[in-house]
Amino acid sequence: MRVKELKTIIKEYNHPEIIGMYYNLSEVFINYVANPNQIFEIRFKNVAGFRCLDEGDLTSYWGKKDLSGKWLVEITEGGWQDSEYVNGNCIVSKQDSEIREFLIMSENDCISILSTDDPEIAMTLHNNT
């Protein structure tokens, strides 16, 4: 597997969690807790597909040093997109070179997103008390 880490406004995370997700036919919105007092909204436009799995269902990923210490990556080779294609499943993204694969990781769930665009990330809650 080959990955590229994305630089984002989330610089630190402690026990990260995906706490919600909304899909509206072309966009996916993900609510992500990076730290106990910080909630972010991650928005992907032009979505071709997505999947949400328990992190235990991705055990083949976790031995990869490229994923260690990261929460969001672009998978450039060897991810969900490639495995579906190898298994004979038709995924539109293999025919469309504009589609990219992203992986958001947390302590309990992981979301794979197939999209043409980088995610947009905004803080929705910050509580210093």
Do the domain assignments include residue 82? yes
What digits encode the pLDDT tens for the residues 90-126? 555 455 568 899 998 888 888 999 999 999 999 997 6
| Range of the structural domain that residue 77 is part of | 2-123
Task: Compute the distance between CA of residue 59 and CA of residue 1 in angstroms, rounded to an integer.
Answer: 13
AA identity, residue 112: S
Do the domain assignments include residue 59? yes
Match 């991810």 to its residue by tokens: 79
Q: How many domains does the chain have?
A: 1
Do the domain assignments include residue 92? yes
Q: State residue 93's pLDDT score.
A: 46
Q: State residue 61's pLDDT score.
A: 57
Task: Compute the distance between CA of residue 44 and CA of residue 121 in angstroms, rounded to an integer.
Answer: 9
What digits encode the pLDDT tens for the residues 82-93? 666 655 555 554
Do the domain assignments include residue 52? yes
Do the domain assignments include residue 48? yes
Do the domain assignments include residue 129? no
pTM given for the model: 0.82
Give the number of other CB atoms < 10 A from CB of residue 31.
16
Do the domain assignments include residue 128? no
